[in-house]
Amino acid sequence: MPKDKRHALILRLKDLSNDDVALVGGKNASLGEMYNTLSGKGVVVPDAFVVTAHAYNMFVSGTGLSEMIAKELKNLDTHDVVALARAGRRIRSAFMRKRMPKIIADEIVAAYDELSREYDMTATDVAVRSSATAEDLPGASFAGEHETFLNVRGGSHVVASVQKAFASLFTDRAISYRVDKGFAHTDIALSVGVQKMVRSDIACSGVMFTLDTETGFPHTVQISGSWGLGEMVVQGKVTPDEFLVFKPSLFSGHDAILKRSVGAKKTKMIYGGARTEPTRVIPVPEDDRSELVLSDREVLELARAGVVIEEHYSKRAGKHMPMDMEWAKDGESGKLFIVQARPETVQSEKKGLTYTEYHLSPTKKKPIVEGIAVGTAITSGKVRKIANANRMDEFRDGEVLVATMTDPTYEPIMKKSAAIITEKGGRTSHAAIVARELGIPAVIGTGNARRVLGTGDMVTVDTSSGVVGRVYSGKITWKEKTYDFKKIPDLRTKLCLNVGDPEGAFRLGMLPHQGVGLAREEFIIASHIGIHPLALLHFNKLSNWKLKEEIEKRTVGFKDKKEFFIHTLAEGVARIGAGFWGKDVIVRFSDFKSNEYRALLGGDLFEPEEENPMIGWRGASRYVHPDYEKAFLLEVEAIRRVREDMGITNVHVMIPFCRTPEEGQAVLDILEKHDLMREPRKKNGLKIYVMCELPTNVIRANDFLDIFDGFSIGSNDLTQLTLGLDRDSTIVAGIGNENDEAVKVLVSQAIDVCHKRKKYIGFCGQAPSDYPEFLRFLVGEKIDAISLSPDTLLPMMKEAAKVEKGTKTKPQSAKMSSKRKKAAPKKKSQSGKMVSKGKTETRK
């Protein structure tokens, strides 16, 4: 190797670092950086040699290609897909007609022979990967723009593959991408990495990100994987398995996996049998499709490697540097390898100063297509089905692109589309990566989009959840609300969020919140479980074979049916806890009424028919009842796993609809008996709150606060039970609401007694989200925390700031008249404490 690397034609990984991007491109420089600095930290990189950009420039200038390239690309309109394809084809053909200079070819063969000897092989299998000198830079990834060749064997075949890689600098999508990103064609050169292959063809492979790719949420590692070689995942030809790992728990010995989901994985790429067919695609056996490609141990091992890489690159850059990596498992040795690493270039480049929320207008229509959501937006347009890249000239601006899958040849029309829908692929497929970079909503891996949708159909595409993408027939209106985070008021009152859906937790966690005042288990149970817990507990005793068949269908992979409930609930709660990491998340145990429980699969076998379930068998009375206690224990075990096994200790719990302190104590006894208790009996920091939603909670406030860590006021039930209104009745609905004076008196009393007892007092009911005057009342009462609907958080911040800055006394509506205060009689509570003046006080 020359003393000056700039004049080298070939370099080994041991010679490279991230300082060599101009010479070997971002991909190869990154491999050298990891190989030389992270090998002892759990990051294993297969060895390689690199054909430098100097070699590429020698090839282009020595063969006269430079002038031809400049002529073809002069004044080219890259939006004219026909002209673009013609120019790209001419340039690539010219590359392949030239002969590789002997000096370059000889050095490639010598380096290949040396690499083969290193692995004790005569002609080892290698991957030949392109690496442009502007590639993998923040703001421009160039991912997938150039060609890769797998399972290449023999020196002459490696030389030929290098030449093909050189030519791929001028694929249609690469030319178009450079123009879009503002790179001059003559300023970019191509280096080629020749890397020992990992035998993932007989194991698995995939991609990994050190953030959530849809929201930019930084506390997770996102891993996708499928059987066989990784090109199937990268190109979006399969729907892979997905795993989410929680970074803060990763190195503390906890089970840090937040999510495991099985992808379809119908096909895989393996080694071919001849040099004319180095790889081939075959079906995956049925049994393997339903099996996760990685064990929990392997998921955590990969995630730890990903975090080590992220920390190294962040330290080098002097700022947080999320990473996008490719990994492969060797089927012979069982080892896990990192085969590529580059900076993530979509979410990490966002400034985070604004946030737009989308809400689809209410509709009775059901989605006709569903898949993985990419982006968090809603749009509509006419469908254009494109069977292959040869039909791209049919595409019109603003249409919804529908394809089996996309590859880089589709990029010229992808950037003109209103939305993208594919039948195959996962979150890290080509379609997903490009959609994120372009800011276009996409629904990936639908399985049936081309069959259901027809060219010319008007559709509405909804990816607003960031998890499940839905496509509706016709044009449905939606609302957009953009929030500016530049000026966030500094408040004494903690403004938190009410959250039910774990799918939106990472997105909502990016808002300027102070935690979650109410996380509802009901949404997870209804939407993700859908089966009555007692039907799972008594599965083997069920006599209805149709019911058992449906339960089996919904609980695939779980022989122990109650484990399905615990596992699914724990994953949902954990995701909410992780999404709001660093702030408290108060999870309310299930508060279904008996009629709502009956709606769950199998519920009619275990639930009574009550005349008024709103004030019937719900909350604490259900948990301690012998007919339901074992079902409640499934919830208890799920919370225990989240806090103790997974290490998500910002999750705390709350008991709903607790009629008496004695009933509350019975619930606490169950929690203590089953290993979930607060300090000092168990030093894990758990807080246990009780909903303040019945007049008795206020009347006997001190008794409740003797055993609980605080109150969270629920205004819906408090209003119902104070005014005698049935919440389900529209006939009496107009009589009153939370703004009623009697309700405010009770709220004021609850706040006062909690302040005196130095206990937590929050508000999680709907009232402050609906009525700004009610929020102003609560702030004036100096409540500790108010939990709001996410869409009202920012506007209510402004309301709270006005009160805190300008109001030093309680608003008039919060006070009782002086006459009413004098008339309030004194009487003893059951605990022997005095209730007086509309307040509760301790007897002295």
Count CA atoms closer than 13 A to 81's CA, side-chain side: 18
State the catalytic residue, choosing from 157, 430, 513, 567.
430
- Host H or E run for residue 195: strand 190-196
Comparing CA positions, the residue from 161, 208, 196, 209 lying closest to residue 332 is 196
State how far the Cα of 23 lies from the Cα of 4, in Å rounded to an integer. 11
- What is the radius of gyration, based on Cα positions, of the chain? 31
Angle of helix 741-757 versus helix 715-723 axis, rounded to 10:
120
**Residue showing tokens 């996309």:** 406
State how far the Cα of 413 lies from the Cα of 79, in Å rounded to an integer. 8
| Cβ within 8 Å of residue 490, ≥6 positions away | none
Comparing CA positions, the residue from 325, 311, 326, 322 lying closest to residue 347 is 322
Assess whether 658 carries a catalytic annotation: no
Other residues' Cβ atoms within 10 Å of the Cβ of residue 748: 23
Dig out the tokens for 387 from the structure.
């069977």
| Cβ within 8 Å of residue 246, ≥6 positions away | 219, 220, 256, 257, 258, 574, 578, 581, 646, 647, 648
Let me know: does 576 contact 505? Beta carbons within 8 Å.
yes
Dig out the tokens for 412 from the structure.
């010229």
**Cis preceding-peptide flag for 680 (omega within 30 of 0):** yes
Dig out the tokens for 446 from the structure.
């639908």
| Cβ within 8 Å of residue 263, ≥6 positions away | 224, 226, 238, 239, 240, 241, 242, 426, 445
State how far the Cα of 237 lies from the Cα of 278, in Å rounded to an integer. 18
State how far the Cα of 245 lies from the Cα of 296, in Å rounded to an integer. 10
Tell me which amino acid residue 9 is.
Answer: L
CA angle 612, 613, 616 (to 5 degrees): 100
Enumerate the H helices of 406-476 as residue ranges: 411-414, 430-438, 449-452
Comparing CA positions, the residue from 664, 667, 686 lying closest to residue 677 is 686
DSSP-derived secondary structure letter, 474: S
State how far the Cα of 717 lies from the Cα of 659, in Å rounded to an integer. 12
Dig out the tokens for 752 from the structure.
């006062």
DSSP secondary structure string, 171-185?
Answer: -HHHHHHHHHHT--G
Comparing CA positions, the residue from 4, 3, 104 lying closest to residue 61 is 104
Assess whether 430 carries a catalytic annotation: yes
State how far the Cα of 214 lies from the Cα of 427, in Å rounded to an integer. 9
Q: Which residues are catalytic?
A: 430, 764
